[in-house]
């Protein structure tokens, strides 16, 4: 340890100054990340309410809230809806559509590519409240755009097909990220290999399976995990359906909002939040482990793969910045 100290202190700061440098970061993390998380655990073990006597003097109830959640059919319903929503809109919708766009855009004229990419990006960068307003107008049953186009102006899309509506909405909303990530990844597939495959008479499907897929496997996993996390925590469906009709789109974030703020059950809401945090942690740990494995794999990979990773990392950084901004 002592022998290594000099070698690991590459900046030559010394321990005291190094600590001084990281202290502000630790303070921020403690105040805005660790403390709220711990506070949530504590609140989840009380009968804390937004109003009433329990707001002034909450009582410790131990694990009652967690027990109540695990036997609450409304929570089960919500968890199931969240899984359906994540699977439908993120894993299937955004990934597949994003990949298809990225794949198609490789072989079209530059102007078409620019137009398509701009349109897809627009859906991604517009503020949520505005987008929600547009979609409510689009799906409205009193002369909404979709109803008018399909000549069925009385169809209440958000009420008759609530889950399908928010899945399609979220696919539209978030495809840009997958598209960007995959076009960066596809750019790094060596053309020589594709050419060889084509010359040997490989079909498009075979080209994808044997040439493209091995190169972008890591990106597919990264992409899936990231968009799963974001979609899992996404609150925007509330702006479209408010969790309705009759709890049909009450995904976990909406469920927590309705219970904690609308219903005032802050304690119960905190308990569910903590369960959600645990689910997020599991996904995140899985992701970190995966990245570590990729890093080891990359060390033995070729230069092209590293380029692709650099490109993809740029996209990731941009995405993180956007996600923080939300």
13 binds other proteins (CB under 8 A): no
143 binds other proteins (CB under 8 A): no
Site for other proteins in 237-256 (CB under 8 A): 240-242, 244-246
Stretch that binds other proteins, among 50-58, 87-95, 119-127, 221-229 (CB under 8 A): 50-58
* Count of other CB atoms within 10 angstroms of residue 116: 15
Decide: 194 and 115 in contact? Cβ < 8 Å. Answer: no
Decide: 287 and 222 in contact? Cβ < 8 Å. Answer: yes
Task: Tell me which of 35, 80, 133, 213 binds other proteins, using CB under 8 A.
Answer: 35
Q: Tell me what percent of the chain is helix, strand and coil, each rounded to the nearest 5.
A: 80, 0, 20
52 binds other proteins (CB under 8 A): yes
Site for other proteins in 54-73 (CB under 8 A): 55-56
Select from 277, 233, 240 the least CA-distant residue to 255: 233
Report the distance separating Cα 312 and Cα 185, nearest Å: 7
Size of the site for other proteins (CB under 8 A): 35
**Which residue number, 56 or 205, has a Cβ lying nearer to other proteins?**
56
Torsion of CA 245, 249, 250, 251, to 10 degrees: 180
Site for other proteins in 281-300 (CB under 8 A): none
Token representation of residue 240: 């479209």
Shortest distance, CB of residue 261 to other proteins, whole angstroms? 5
Decide: 232 and 82 in contact? Cβ < 8 Å. Answer: yes
Task: Tell me which of 60, 263, 323, 326 binds other proteins, using CB under 8 A.
Answer: 263
Stretch that binds other proteins, among 155-163, 215-223, 276-284, 298-306 (CB under 8 A): 155-163
Report the distance separating Cα 269 and Cα 260, nearest Å: 5
Residues that bind other proteins (CB under 8 A): 1, 4, 8, 19, 26-27, 29-31, 34-35, 38-39, 49-53, 55-56, 141-142, 156, 158-159, 240-242, 244-246, 261-264
């Amino acid at each position: 340890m002592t022998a290594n100290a000099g070698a690991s202190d590459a900046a030559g700061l010394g321990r005291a100054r190094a600590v001084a440098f990281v202290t502000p970061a630790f303070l921020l993390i403690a105040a805005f990340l660790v403390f709220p998380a711990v506070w949530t655990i504590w609140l989840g073990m009380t009968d804390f309410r937004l109003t009433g006597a329990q707001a002034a003097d909450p009582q410790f109830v131990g694990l009652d809230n967690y027990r109540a959640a695990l036997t609450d059919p409304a929570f089960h319903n919500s968890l199931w809806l969240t899984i359906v929503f994540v699977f439908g809109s993120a894993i299937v919708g955004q990934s597949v559509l994003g990949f298809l766009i990225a794949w198609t855009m490789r072989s079209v004229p530059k102007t078409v590519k620019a137009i398509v990419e701009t349109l897809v990006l627009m859906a991604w960068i517009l503020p949520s409240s505005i987008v929600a307003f547009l979609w409510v107008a689009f799906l409205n049953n009193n002369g909404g755009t979709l109803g008018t186009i399909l000549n069925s102006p009385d169809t209440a899309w958000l009420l008759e097909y609530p889950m399908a509506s928010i899945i399609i909405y979220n696919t539209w909303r978030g495809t840009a990220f997958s598209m960007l990530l995959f076009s960066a990844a596809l750019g790094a597939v060596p053309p020589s290999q594709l050419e060889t495959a084509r010359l040997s008479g490989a079909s498009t499907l075979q080209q994808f399976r044997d040439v493209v897929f091995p190169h972008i496997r890591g990106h597919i996993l990264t992409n899936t995990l990231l968009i799963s996390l974001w979609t899992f925590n996404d609150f925007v469906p509330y702006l479209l359906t408010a969790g309705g009709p009759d709890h049909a789109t009450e995904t976990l974030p909406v469920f927590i909002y309705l219970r904690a703020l609308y219903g005032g059950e802050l304690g119960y809401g905190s308990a569910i939040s903590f369960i959600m945090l645990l689910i997020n942690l599991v996904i995140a740990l899985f992701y970190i482990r995966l990245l570590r494995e990729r890093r080891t794999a990359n060390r033995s990979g070729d230069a092209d793969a590293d380029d692709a990773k650099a490109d993809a990392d740029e996209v990731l950084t941009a995405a993180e910045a956007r996600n923080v901004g939300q």
